[in-house]
Chain A
Amino acid sequence: MKLVVLVKQVPNTTRVKLDPKTGNLIREGLESIVNPDDLHALEAALGIKEETGGTVTALSMGPPQAVDALTQAIGMGADKGILLCDRAFAGADTWATSLTLSRAIRKLGEVDLIICGHQAIDGDTAQIGPQVADWLGLAQATYVKEIEHLTPADPDKPGKPGEIIVKRRLENGVERLACQLPALVTVIKELNQPRYAHMERLITACTDKADILVWNAADIGVNTCDVGLEGSNTHVIKTFTPNFKRQKEILEGSRQEVVAELFDRLKKSDTTLSGKFQGRPS
Chain B
Amino acid sequence: MKKSDTPVKIRSNVEDMVRKTMKDFVDKEVIPIAREYDEQAKFPDHLFKQLGDMGLFGIRYPRDAGGSGGNTTLYCIAMQELARGLMSLGATVAMQCLMATNGLYLYGTPELHERYLYPALKGEKKGAFQLTEPDAGSDLKAVSTRATRTADGWVINGMKTWATSGPRADFHTVLCQTDPSKGLKGLGFFLVPSDTPGFSFSKPFDLLGTRSSSISEIYFSDCHIPAHHHLGQEGQGLSVLLKILAEIRIMTASLALGLHRAAMDDSVQYCKQRTAFGQPIGNYQLIQAKIANMAVNLEAGQLMVDKVTHLIDNGRSCLNEASMAKYFTVESACAAADEATRIFGGYAYSMEYSVQRYYRDNRFLLYGGGTHEVLQTTIGREILSK
Contact = CB atoms under 8 A, between A and B. Distances in A.
Contacts, number: 96
Interface in B31-73: 50, 53-56, 58-59, 63, 67-70
B7 A213 contact: yes
Interface string B61-88: 0010001111000100000000000000
Interface in B1-46: 1-4, 7-14, 16-18, 20-21, 24-25
Interface of A: 33, 64, 67-68, 71-72, 75, 83, 85, 88, 195-208, 210, 212-219, 224
24 contacts: A64-B10, A68-B12, A68-B20, A196-B50, A198-B53, A198-B55, A198-B68, A199-B58, A199-B68, A200-B69, A203-B14, A203-B74, A204-B69, A205-B12, A206-B12, A206-B13, A206-B14, A207-B14, A214-B10, A216-B1, A216-B8, A217-B1, A218-B1, A224-B1
Nearest to B11: A206
B17 A75 contact: yes
Interface residues of B, number: 32
Contacts of B69: 200, 203-204
Interface of B: 1-4, 7-14, 16-18, 20-21, 24-25, 50, 53-56, 58-59, 63, 67-70, 74
Contacts of B55: 198-201
A85 B10 contact: yes
Contacts of A68: 12, 16-17, 20
A198 B3 contact: no
A212 B10 contact: yes
A208 B7 CA distance: 12
B11 A200 contact: no
A71 B68 contact: no
Contacts of A217: 1
A219 B18 contact: no
A75 B55 CA distance: 11
A238 B16 CA distance: 35
Contacts of A200: 55, 58, 63, 67-69
Given A202-B21, A207-B14, A216-B3, 9 more contacts: A68-B12, A198-B53, A199-B18, A200-B68, A201-B55, A206-B11, A212-B11, A214-B4, A214-B7
Q: Which of A196, A206, A207 has the most CB of B within 10 A?
A: A196
A218 B8 contact: no
Given A200-B68, A203-B18, A219-B3, A71 B11 contact: yes
Q: Top 10 nearest A-B pairs by Cβ distance?
A: A206-B14, A200-B68, A199-B68, A71-B12, A199-B55, A214-B8, A218-B1, A218-B3, A67-B10, A198-B55
Q: Which of A197, A198, A219 has the most CB of B within 10 A?
A: A197
Contact of B59 (A196, A199, A210, A218): A199
Given A85-B10, A206-B12, A215 B4 contact: yes
A206 B17 CA distance: 8
A134 to B, nearest CB: 26
B71 to A, nearest CB: 9
Contacts of B3: 216, 218-219
Contacts of A88: 1
